[in-house]
Amino acid sequence: EPERAWWKEASVYQIYPASFLDSNGDGLGDLPGIISKLDYIKSVGVDTIWLSPIFKSPQHDMGYDISDYRNIHEPYGTVEDAENLIQGCHKRGLKVLLDLVVNHTSDEHDWFKESRSSKESPKRDWYFWKDPKYDSNGIRQPPNNWASVFGGSAWNWDEHTGQYYLSLFLASQPDLNWANKDMRESTYDDMRFWLDRGADGFRIDSMNLMSKHPDLPDAPITDPMAEYQSGAIYFASGPRMHEYIQEMRAKVFDKYECMTVGELGFTKDEKSVSEYVAKDRHELNMLFTGDIVDMDFGDNHKYGPGEFHLSKLRHITSMWQSAMPKFNGWNSIYMDNHDSGRSLSRYASDFPEYRKDAAKMLATYLCSLSGTVFLLQGQEIGTANIPKSWGVEDYIDVEGRNYYNSVLKQRGDGANMGDVLSQMRLKARDNGRLPMQWNSNPHGGFTKAAKPWMRVNDDFDAWNVESQEGDEDSVLAYWRKMLKLRKGERDVFIYGTYEMLSEVKSGEDIFAYTMTKFDGSKQALVLLNFSDALKRFPASKDYKGWKKLIGDTAEDLMTEGLELKPYEGVIYCNW
Ligand code: TEU
């Protein structure tokens, strides 16, 4: 018998508050907007929501720069709205995960204001402050060569006290120094504030960056062309990381029935990952390991040229599906979040002739694997990336803009940026942040304002929630069916044992695997065609008497095999 837990069986729906629903016509989504759609969310078949940050913030990084953990970003609503949202969820049997961003704060947080006020401030040590270095020409330089994730140096000069402070993301997102005990305790108080108000857990932002190498050494030169280098080996999964998580768990999480999902960047090997989620370590419930959302990144940079190959997806899927049971760990299953492009457009196809089948095929993949499934708002209706006709001015996220501008500066030629824009079309974070398409009213019913905070995809007339409601053949209906099936047959899917079929057995471009119940009594065969051509799954006597569980076709697998349409996904079973 598998060890069962509610958080293992949860299906989680990520809400991007700015883009979900605008209730007051200011062009920006808000908490009352989310509250008004809880019945819809419930109807999709999920049972947990994850809210991207809703807290007070100057919004230089869309709320991942928090200036007060105990207040709500004013245009989103109030603490009372947040409590109502949590209660409204609980009434419907939905749980709520909040986004815990404690690797850094906003530079407008009181803690940082105090810290930067003087070298003698009691909060000086709550952040990383260092003296400058001087080069051979006597020119002031940052304390080390680390690059910020968003471009430029990770160090920022502060004239007032004559030191640099560290920020791995924007200069307005100074990194907290977790080695400082008082700082940690204050953060735990903030966590309890929300758990006491009913939050059921946290998605923990940039989790593994919280412990840095104490000497903050120069990074090795991995990109000789770049001015600054990735310091990840010194700032990811540092020496005290697990001590901090275990402390957090003992002092906070264990006091509540709390679900925890840690976001891991840079740490991807099985052994390091196991240290976060192996059951006997008492750390986190599960992780976002990021390797599936990174599959098509370039070698040195996210926006470098990279391609999706099914072989990568097979490899990553198989690696984690087989690794987790070895150390009694658990994992999240996801392909989309607010930090990249939509999987439909990147790994399958949003061409009109394939879009519906492709969105369903990816849902079949996500809903058939062992782990806790996460979907991003809009994924349930087949939301696609930004269309090709949009210009660079329609991309408003700081990460993509910074990259675009840095290349433009190098090349000095705006006419020659097509390659960069085409990478942004695939991977820019804006793609995951487009407003929800509710109906065919102006701006897809997302807002009544003349201008939404972010442009709505042009295809909202054809692709929206309302037009899919009641359509049995829609992507939405399919997600509902799959999420239900996943729960109904939880021992086969959620808790099942995965085994991949080799390409020889599955046929080219078909991703095929079986999921098996712990006692061997039930087995399902998942067949996914990741290409835009007809593909044949060869006949095999292994499937004598197997029946179709999901899909339009009903061929006999033993005698005929199966012809899969472009981007078709099907499931057969032996029961
Ligand atoms: O992301 C952490 C992270 O590593 C990102 O830089 C990610 O690699 C990048 O966005 C991919 O393009 C988290 C949040 O999810 C992200 O939205 C925030 O900007 C970031 O932390 C800083 O808080």
Ligand 1 atom closest to 294 (CA): 11
Q: d(Cα 444, Cα 449) in Å, to the nearest integer?
A: 12
Q: In the structure, what pLDDT confidence band is assigned to residue 373 with cuts at 50, 70 and 90?
A: very high
Mean pLDDT across the chain: 96
- Residue of minimum CA distance from atom 12 in ligand 1: 339
Which of the residues 30, 47, 107, 205 is marked catalytic?
Answer: 205
Tokens 């939050």 -> residue: 199
Does ligand 1 have an atom closer than 6 angstroms to the CB of 61?
A: yes
Tell how far the Cα of 350 is from the centroid of ligand 1, in angstroms: 25
Does ligand 1 have an atom closer than 6 angstroms to the CB of 341?
A: no
Which DSSP category does 115 fall into? H
Which of the residues 99, 263, 283, 291 is marked catalytic?
Answer: 263
Could you give the angle at which helices 475-488 and 355-368 cross, rounded to 10 degrees? 10
Confidence at residue 560, expressed as pLDDT on a 0 to 100 scale: 87
Whether 61 is catalytic is no
Ligand 1 atom closest to 337 (CA): 15
> Under 8 Å CB-to-CB from 372, ≥6 apart: which residues?
7, 8, 9, 10, 11, 12, 261, 285, 286, 330, 331, 332, 333
- Residue of minimum CA distance from atom 23 in ligand 1: 64
Does ligand 1 have an atom closer than 6 angstroms to the CB of 403?
A: no
pLDDT exceeds cutoff 80 at 145: yes
**pLDDT tens by residue, 377-420:** 999 999 999 999 999 999 999 999 999 999 999 998 888 899 99
Confidence at residue 263, expressed as pLDDT on a 0 to 100 scale: 98
Tell how far the Cα of 338 is from the centroid of ligand 1, in angstroms: 9
Tokens 């701006």 -> residue: 443
Q: d(Cα 139, Cα 457) in Å, to the nearest integer?
A: 48
Does ligand 1 have an atom closer than 6 angstroms to the CB of 399?
A: yes
Q: In the structure, what pLDDT confidence band is assigned to residue 555 with cuts at 50, 70 and 90?
A: confident
Q: d(Cα 400, Cα 340) in Å, to the nearest integer?
A: 10
**pLDDT tens by residue, 107-133:** 999 999 999 999 999 999 999 999 999
- Residue of minimum CA distance from atom 17 in ligand 1: 339
**pLDDT tens by residue, 473-517:** 999 999 999 999 999 999 999 999 999 999 889 988 999 999 999
Confidence at residue 558, expressed as pLDDT on a 0 to 100 scale: 87
pLDDT exceeds cutoff 80 at 554: no
Query: In CATH, what number does 6-103+181-389+430-468 get?
Result: 3.20.20.80
pLDDT exceeds cutoff 80 at 462: yes
Helix (H) or strand (E) run with residue 183 in it: helix 181-195
Does ligand 1 have an atom closer than 6 angstroms to the CB of 97?
A: no
Does ligand 1 have an atom closer than 6 angstroms to the CB of 205?
A: yes
Q: d(Cα 513, Cα 521) in Å, to the nearest integer?
A: 17
Please choose from 102, 339, 374, 429 the residue to mutate so as to test ligand 1's pocket, defined by most ligand atoms within 8 A of CB.
Answer: 339
Q: Is the CB of residue 456 less than 8 Å from the CB of residue 434?
A: yes
Whether 491 is catalytic is no
Confidence at residue 415, expressed as pLDDT on a 0 to 100 scale: 83
pLDDT exceeding 70 applies to what percent of the chain?
A: 100
Please choose from 59, 176, 206 the residue to mutate so as to test ligand 1's pocket, defined by most ligand atoms within 8 A of CB.
Answer: 206
Tell how far the Cα of 315 is from the centroid of ligand 1, in angstroms: 24
Q: What residues does each domain of the chain span? A: 6-103+181-389+430-468, 110-166, 497-573
Does ligand 1 have an atom closer than 6 angstroms to the CB of 429?
A: yes
Q: d(Cα 385, Cα 347) in Å, to the nearest integer?
A: 12
Tell how far the Cα of 538 is from the centroid of ligand 1, in angstroms: 42
pLDDT exceeds cutoff 90 at 91: yes
Helix (H) or strand (E) run with residue 6 in it: helix 6-9
Q: In the structure, what pLDDT confidence band is assigned to residue 36 with cuts at 50, 70 and 90?
A: very high
> Coil, strand or helix: which one is 258?
coil
Tell how far the Cα of 290 is from the centroid of ligand 1, in angstroms: 10
Class of domain 110-166: alpha beta
CA nearest 332: which of 361, 289, 279? 289
Q: In the structure, what pLDDT confidence band is assigned to residue 326 with cuts at 50, 70 and 90?
A: very high
Q: In the structure, what pLDDT confidence band is assigned to residue 356 with cuts at 50, 70 and 90?
A: very high
Tell how far the Cα of 430 is from the centroid of ligand 1, in angstroms: 13
CA nearest 175: which of 283, 69, 81, 64? 64
Q: Is the CB of residue 264 less than 8 Å from the CB of residue 288?
A: yes
- Residue of minimum CA distance from atom 2 in ligand 1: 206
Superfamily (CATH) of domain 497-573: Golgi alpha-mannosidase II (2.60.40.1180)
Confidence at residue 299, expressed as pLDDT on a 0 to 100 scale: 85
Tell how far the Cα of 261 is from the centroid of ligand 1, in angstroms: 15
Tell how far the Cα of 339 is from the centroid of ligand 1, in angstroms: 6
Count CB neighbours of 341 within 10 A: 24
**pLDDT tens by residue, 154-166:** 999 999 999 999 9
Tokens 């990816």 -> residue: 362
Count CB neighbours of 2 within 10 A: 15
Q: Is the dihedral of CA 183, 185, 189, 190 positive or negative?
A: positive
Q: d(Cα 351, Cα 343) in Å, to the nearest integer?
A: 13
Ligand 1 atom closest to 65 (CA): 23
Q: Is the CB of residue 119 less than 8 Å from the CB of residue 185?
A: no
pLDDT exceeds cutoff 80 at 136: yes
Ligand 1 atom closest to 149 (CA): 6
Q: Is the CB of residue 139 less than 8 Å from the CB of residue 97?
A: no
Does ligand 1 have an atom closer than 6 angstroms to the CB of 149?
A: yes
Overall average pLDDT of the 168-177 stretch: 98
Confidence at residue 257, expressed as pLDDT on a 0 to 100 scale: 86
Tell how far the Cα of 511 is from the centroid of ligand 1, in angstroms: 29
Per the structure block, which two tokens stand in for 541? 């006597």
Confidence at residue 553, expressed as pLDDT on a 0 to 100 scale: 72
Confidence at residue 291, expressed as pLDDT on a 0 to 100 scale: 94
pLDDT exceeds cutoff 80 at 79: yes
> Coil, strand or helix: which one is 230?
coil
- Residue of minimum CA distance from atom 20 in ligand 1: 64
Q: d(Cα 149, Cα 434) in Å, to the nearest integer?
A: 22
Does ligand 1 have an atom closer than 6 angstroms to the CB of 206?
A: yes
Greatest mean pLDDT among 31-35, 502-506, 561-565: 31-35
- Annotate 154-179 with b (16+ C-beta within 10 A) or e (fewer): bbbeeeebebbbbbbbbbbbbbbbbb
Confidence at residue 508, expressed as pLDDT on a 0 to 100 scale: 84
- Residue of minimum CA distance from atom 11 in ligand 1: 339
Q: What angle (nearest 5°) sits at the alpha carbon of residue 319, between those of residues 14 and 535?
A: 85
Please choose from 149, 427, 431 the residue to mutate so as to test ligand 1's pocket, defined by most ligand atoms within 8 A of CB.
Answer: 149
> Coil, strand or helix: which one is 497?
strand
Does ligand 1 have an atom closer than 6 angstroms to the CB of 169?
A: yes
- Annotate 375-412 with b (16+ C-beta within 10 A) or e (fewer): bbbbbbbbbbbbeeebebeebebbbbbbbbeebeeeee
Which DSSP category does 146 fall into? B
Does ligand 1 have an atom closer than 6 angstroms to the CB of 303?
A: no
Ligand 1 atom closest to 427 (CA): 12
Tokens 């005929």 -> residue: 560
